[in-house]
Structure 1
Amino acid sequence: MPHQDQDTSLRHRLGRTFRTPIGITALTGCLVVALVAVFGPILLGEQAARVDTDAINQGSSAAHLLGTDQLGRDIAARVVVATRLTLRLTLLAAVIGVGGGLLLGVAPAVVGRRPGRLITATVGVLVAFPGLLFVLFLATIFGVGSTGAVFAVGLAMVPPMARLVQNLTASVAGSDYVAAARILGVGRLRLVVRHLLPNIAEPSVLFAAQATGGILVAFSGLSFLGLGVQPPEYDWGRLLNEQLNRIYVNPAAALAPGAAVVLTGLVFGLLGEALAQAGGRRTPRTPVPAPVQRAAAPVDTDPGDDDTPLVRARDLHVTFPGGRHAVRGISLDIGAGEAVGLVGESGSGKSLSALALADLVPYPGRVDAGTLRFDGRDPRADPHLGTELAMVFQDPMASLNPALRVGRQLAEVAEVHLGASRAQAMARATDRLGAVRIPSPERRARQRPHEYSGGMRQRAVIAMGLMGEPKLVIADEPTTALDVAVQQQVLDLLAEVREESGAALLLISHDLAVVAQVCERVLVMYGGLVVEDLPVAALIGGAAHPYTRALVGAVPTMATDPGTELATIPGRPPEPGEAGPGCPFAPRCERARDRCHDEVPDLTSSGPGHRVACWYPVDAVAVGTPARTTSNGAEATP
């Protein structure tokens, strides 16, 4: 998503959050505290400093709401005036804590391994040290006074902040896009600013906001002990110290500074909670208006087509920086209600092709196509396809938030995309869980993903895709991590979903047996290209491309002799960017000739519903085609 769209989305979420009770309370509290800090010393500064020997140690009265101190000064005015200094010192300490925590937190991700380990170990030791003792230790080192207290409290916040940032950056630093940035030569400072900090901003801000309340309490505690603010200056902790000995005579005077500390700390806590709602999945939902009917985008059709397919891609490319050409100009059609299998070895471009159809290729990948249409619209320019296209990934836990109940996650789809109320969305989530054969859907909807088995989690992800009315279901290796019995259940479920909803299915797999069971047509990919397109019925005996034949030969059947050695394909698939000028399979193909190494074959018709990209298809070679030229110039018959 573009950075501008992210900013707009964040502003929208913040706006919605600060219209909730928690958001309104936090915003009101912050505004009140800020106004008191700004205007309190201006309006009441003189009254707070005025010494009145005739009103020493008086109790509450109309003239002095909280009474007076040992010099006759108005305590209520002093509590109000102390707000500015208390907040200023608290925020200074928070800046030191947050800044130092960020520096130590991101350092292990950008410095060398040994310095990084040393920093991590040091932070671990400091975190294990009791916080209060650490504050007192630092206060003793920096000396008595407000400056020393600021550094003591601020530095005491550094270790927990650094530990949080280290844990967050450790997961981000292992991401593929960070590795790609390193390979491309991105500098360390730019790597931190552009790739690490933006991805940990929300939890870091939440922690900082809530920790600021703890800093306020710690700073007031130092002043109360006489280690913080010194006379003639005063903050809330100092006022509490001065009036504590009169708590039984004038309790209001002693409790007012403490109440100010507690209430302001609560304001910081509520602010952190509001930021957590705005930044995470807990964002409250407001009714979404019904989508506006828009004119359909023009549909690209090829001459002679009688029916426009649901999905059409022509000359589809997916590229990454550094010349990594993962998908190299494939063309495919998927008809409405059709089940198509996409097979090939790992790295052949199957998943990226499917992600390109859904406009989900991760940054910094780029999708280019002569024609790319889903139901007559360009998915790259139409943001309203969320309910018409469903994706089921290999690992369901990558799609399910372990901290949220399954029903709540499914209901979010209906709330966001369909404008349903919370009750309506939950009812539909329960119905969809029942539709995918999850027993007791009402009870299961209230459970979290870890309470589901692997097969049930996969069913829940399928149910998530069915929260709308999908016209296409893309299933990317949906059975790889499941045992055989559960695999069969998931495959049967996909077939039922397709039959009941009329949705088309694009099944990505390296298991030809799975594809043959579910699909009607098979696309075989190799090296970022579609090398064969054929009906499932022709897969076993009618495949024309040597690669497809090799894949079929590597799959044992019930009739395979236990002593038979399974066929293998020598060599390895090409990495993106490694493909040469000819057929990508030529280096591993026993039937390759000189032409195969020099020219890329087009995907051409080889019979009804059958296309193959091979200069010398298997059937043609079998009836006698020119012999293959070997490396020493001799000719050999395949």
Structure 2
Amino acid sequence: MMSARSKWLDVVRSPLGATALALVVLVALTAIFAPIIWGPQAEQVDPTAITQGPSAAHLLGTDSLGRDVLARVLVATRLSITLAVAAVLIGVTVGTLLGTAPAVLPRWAGRLIAGVVNIAVAFPGLLLALFFAVIFGVGTTGAVLAIGFAMAPSFARLTQTLSASIAGRDFIAAARVAGVSRIRVLIRHILPNIGEPLVVNATVGAGSALLAFAGLSFLGLGVQVPAYDWGRMLGEGLNRIYLNPAAAIGPAVAVVVAGLAFNLLGETAASVIGGRSARHRGRLPQFARLGAPVLAQVVDEDVVLRVDDLRVSFPGPDGWLTPVRGVSFTISRGEAVGVVGESGSGKSLTALAAAQLIERPGRISAAHLSFCGTPLLDAPERSVRSLLGTSLAMVFQDPMTSFNPTRRIGSQLAEAASEHQGLNRSAAMARAVDRLQAVRVPAAHRRARQYPHEFSGGMRQRAMIAMGLMNHPRLIIADEPTTALDVTVQRQVLQLLAGVRRDTDAAMLLISHDIAVIAQTCDRVLVMYAGRVVEDLPASQLHTHAQHPYTRALLDVVPEIDTDRSIPLKMIPGRPPAPGAFPAGCAFADRCPLASALCREQDPELVDDAAGHRVACWHPVDGDSPANADATVSAVTSALPIVEHEGVIR
């Protein structure tokens, strides 16, 4: 894993980092040494050189007392920077106290402070600064306090948000259970975890504070004579702008350069901290392993993805919610597995967990979760990232949200090859064009230079598939890849995915609401309901041997060509249970006319019949008997009143 020092060195070598470092060093050296070198010259009064323009002796001319303007601009660097930094320290301190107060004070006091902060954030910062300047009075001290308190609400809001993201984690709950006081939890556990983004925002805020100080001094509310800063000098220069414009340009340029230095330093720090935070975020928190520890297992080279007892949970107001609970399946090389089910059944979450894309505060656990023989939950993060980056391709439902709208398609595709294959820019771009051609994007060279909004929906989906093919994927996860496309383009995309799977021998996990598409495209079908796999069977047997009543109901609500249009379309009555309200028994029991008392008391296990067919049902339908199956389907889809709900299968 790259060290922080190496990360900083890489950033410094970049144009942004080098510019930030150069400007910061320049401003710092000027603030330290300018009063020593040019201090006497800046204070020397020369009655014979009053209000002169630029010359060899005075590059920016002189002021009303004959003092050198350039020397005064350089000397004013120390006071201007010092006051800006002091204001930022006040703003960060007061903002942090206000932002963390709700976590320490009683609830009523915390809500009161949060309400005051929300009102203050709604006002422009400069307006608040002017308001506080009137309260604290004219002068340097009043200006420092005014700007510091004006910056406090934004830091308070940031602190509140960051603290809330930390407060729900397990180590906070463990500390509180152990009897640790709120203040100690705040100091020892919360503040250290939110310090980095506060520092980044404080660095950027220093540039804003510098500009605000210049504004107050320009208006006569800040630094007073005989002291001077850039804002006061700017005001004096504007009064004589027709006699000597350079006297106003000098302090204005100084404010711009110093403000740019602070902002670039903040951007550089954000890139370093962001990279380090990304490494921490990449490693997902885990539950304790279920059951006995998993021992070393024999790796089957044909198995691409192995999932055993996968669970995905998220924090809720009343505890953890587990929308995916105990999912198990395997995908072999070259195999296409389809996942169907109503909205909220856990299909996409299962795929995201397998791809290690569940972000905090989500948590995953599994008795076994491996990709290409590598245990994803136990292997080093760097190896997992490299493996998934080169061997896993994701095709999302809406590729418009998956592409950066400000970057060209070709550069986004080339990034994958540069990151994982070490290709230079030209080679990576050539690879991107080649992959666009492979997915039959016409005029690939020209298209690679276009932005995502210049692509049609079907072309964007092709480009998304091409991105997955930039490396050498062994598994393609396609999450609703055809939902937003018309029927003709749907067929083209599905044929393209099938061709890619055939040409690369890659496995495919296809998620869809359309059970007909799954039946025609995949080798095996996983039917999910309420976060569980309720049936797993070969696609060729889907219409003839499906045994779970839910699977039969899904098949029955798909309209056929000869469907009588004079009668309403069939729908599955009722609604799936919410993730936080799963019943003790079978989750489908309330919607199933075959349910018995046993179904409502015990959740059936997923039983394998040793013929590649698994079903979780206490009363499975006899798939070999069409009459029995049709009767069951009719009962399921008509037993309860038909209601409209979001889980309709298209």
TM-score when normalising by structure 1: 0.75
Task: Report the Cα offset of residue 211 of structure 1.
Answer: 6.4
Query: In structure 2, which of residues 326, 332, 336 is the aligned counterpart of residue 339 of structure 1?
Result: 336
State yes or no: 1:373 paired with 2:373: no
After TM superposition, the structure 1 = structure 2 runs for residues 515-554 of structure 1, keeping only pairs within 5 Å, are 515-554=518-557
Task: Report the Cα offset of residue 507 of structure 1.
Answer: 0.7
Residues 536, 244 of structure 1: alpha-carbon distance in 2 compared, 3 angstrom cutoff: closer
Task: Report the Cα offset of residue 70 of structure 1.
Answer: 6.8
CA contact (8 A) 2:302 2:333 kept: no
CA contact (8 A) 1:209 1:271 kept: yes
Partner of residue 357, structure 2: 360
Query: In structure 2, which of residues 221, 224, 228 is the aligned counterpart of residue 230 of structure 1?
Result: 224
State yes or no: 1:429 paired with 2:437: no
State yes or no: 1:593 paired with 2:607: no
Q: Secondary structure at the match of 1:316?
A: strand
- Name the stretch that deviates more: 519-528 or 8-17: 8-17
Residues 610, 227 of structure 1: alpha-carbon distance in 2 compared, 3 angstrom cutoff: closer
CA contact (8 A) 1:97 1:158 kept: yes
Partner of residue 511, structure 2: 508
Residues 355, 144 of structure 1: alpha-carbon distance in 2 compared, 3 angstrom cutoff: closer
Task: Report the Cα offset of residue 456 of structure 1.
Answer: 2.5
Partner of residue 147, structure 1: 141
Partner of residue 391, structure 2: 388
Q: Secondary structure at the match of 2:22?
A: helix
Residues 83-131 of structure 1 show CA distances to partners (whole Å, capped at 9, x for unaligned) of 21111223344556778899999999x999999999878766x45x9x6
Unaligned runs of 5+ in 2: 276-293, 633-650
Q: Secondary structure at the match of 1:609?
A: coil
CA contact (8 A) 1:299 1:377 kept: no
State yes or no: 1:410 paired with 2:404: no
CA contact (8 A) 2:34 2:74 kept: yes
Q: Secondary structure at the match of 2:227?
A: coil
Task: Report the Cα offset of residue 78 of structure 1.
Answer: 4.0
Residues 228, 537 of structure 1: alpha-carbon distance in 2 compared, 3 angstrom cutoff: same
Partner of residue 288, structure 1: none
Residues 577-603 of structure 1 show CA distances to partners (whole Å, capped at 9, x for unaligned) of 544444333333222334434444333
Task: Report the Cα offset of residue 179 of structure 1.
Answer: 10
Give the number of aligned pairs: 586
Task: Report the Cα offset of residue 520 of structure 1.
Answer: 1.1
Residues 194, 487 of structure 1: alpha-carbon distance in 2 compared, 3 angstrom cutoff: farther
Partner of residue 214, structure 2: 220
CA contact (8 A) 1:523 1:530 kept: yes
Partner of residue 284, structure 2: none
Q: Secondary structure at the match of 2:328?
A: strand
Unaligned runs of 5+ in 1: 282-296, 629-638
After TM superposition, the structure 1 = structure 2 runs for residues 12-27 of structure 1, keeping only pairs within 5 Å, are 14-27=8-21
- Name the stretch that deviates more: 514-523 or 254-263: 254-263
Residues 141, 356 of structure 1: alpha-carbon distance in 2 compared, 3 angstrom cutoff: closer
Residues 9, 103 of structure 1: alpha-carbon distance in 2 compared, 3 angstrom cutoff: farther
Residues 498, 143 of structure 1: alpha-carbon distance in 2 compared, 3 angstrom cutoff: same
Task: Report the Cα offset of residue 414 of structure 1.
Answer: 1.4
CA contact (8 A) 1:391 1:474 kept: yes
Q: Which amino acid aligns with 1:584?
A: A
State yes or no: 1:326 paired with 2:323: yes
Residues 129-172 of structure 1 show CA distances to partners (whole Å, capped at 9, x for unaligned) of 9x6x997787667654223444566677789x699979x979x9
After TM superposition, the structure 1 = structure 2 runs for residues 83-102 of structure 1, keeping only pairs within 5 Å, are 83-94=77-88
After TM superposition, the structure 1 = structure 2 runs for residues 185-334 of structure 1, keeping only pairs within 5 Å, are 212-213=206-207, 215-224=209-218, 226-239=220-233, 256-271=250-265, 274=268, 300-301=297-298, 308-321=302-315, 322-334=319-331
Q: Secondary structure at the match of 1:464?
A: helix
After TM superposition, the structure 1 = structure 2 runs for residues 442-591 of structure 1, keeping only pairs within 5 Å, are 442-563=445-566, 566-591=569-594
Task: Report the Cα offset of residue 519 of structure 1.
Answer: 0.4
Task: Report the Cα offset of residue 49 of structure 1.
Answer: 7.7
How far apart, in 2, do the equivalents of 1:102 and 1:452 lie?
46
CA contact (8 A) 1:298 1:376 kept: no
Residues 304-347 of structure 1 show CA distances to partners (whole Å, capped at 9, x for unaligned) of x8x74222222333344435333332321211000111112222
Residues 107, 438 of structure 1: alpha-carbon distance in 2 compared, 3 angstrom cutoff: farther
Residues 550, 195 of structure 1: alpha-carbon distance in 2 compared, 3 angstrom cutoff: farther
Task: Report the Cα offset of residue 34 of structure 1.
Answer: 1.4
Q: Which amino acid aligns with 1:18?
A: V
Task: Report the Cα offset of residue 472 of structure 1.
Answer: 0.4
Query: In structure 1, which of residues 27, 33, 39 is the aligned counterpart of residue 27 of structure 2?
Result: 33
Task: Report the Cα offset of residue 389 of structure 1.
Answer: 0.8
Q: Which amino acid aligns with 2:327?
A: I
Q: Secondary structure at the match of 2:543?
A: coil
CA contact (8 A) 2:97 2:156 kept: no
How far apart, in 1, do the equivalents of 2:508 and 2:260 lie?
52
Q: Which amino acid aligns with 1:415?
A: S
Residues 10-64 of structure 1 show CA distances to partners (whole Å, capped at 9, x for unaligned) of 876554332123321221211121122234445655x358667798759899998
Q: Secondary structure at the match of 2:604?
A: coil
Query: In structure 2, which of residues 609, 618, 637 is the aligned counterpart of residue 615 of structure 1?
Result: 618
CA contact (8 A) 2:544 2:623 kept: no
Task: Report the Cα offset of residue 473 of structure 1.
Answer: 0.5
Q: Secondary structure at the match of 2:28?
A: helix
Residues 29, 543 of structure 1: alpha-carbon distance in 2 compared, 3 angstrom cutoff: same
CA contact (8 A) 2:314 2:322 kept: yes
Residues 37, 591 of structure 1: alpha-carbon distance in 2 compared, 3 angstrom cutoff: same
How far apart, in 2, do the equivalents of 1:61 and 1:465 lie?
63
Q: Which amino acid aligns with 1:84?
A: R
- Name the stretch that deviates more: 10-19 or 380-389: 10-19
Task: Report the Cα offset of residue 422 of structure 1.
Answer: 1.9
CA contact (8 A) 1:123 1:163 kept: no
Task: Report the Cα offset of residue 423 of structure 1.
Answer: 2.0
Task: Report the Cα offset of residue 459 of structure 1.
Answer: 2.2
Task: Report the Cα offset of residue 461 of structure 1.
Answer: 1.9
CA contact (8 A) 1:298 1:377 kept: no
TM-score when normalising by structure 2: 0.73
Percent of aligned pairs sharing the same letter: 54
Q: Which amino acid aligns with 2:438?
A: A
- Name the stretch that deviates more: 464-473 or 325-334: 325-334
Residues 308, 442 of structure 1: alpha-carbon distance in 2 compared, 3 angstrom cutoff: closer
Residues 456, 85 of structure 1: alpha-carbon distance in 2 compared, 3 angstrom cutoff: same
- Name the stretch that deviates more: 613-622 or 435-444: 613-622
Q: Secondary structure at the match of 2:417?
A: helix
How far apart, in 2, do the equivalents of 1:482 and 1:420 lie?
34
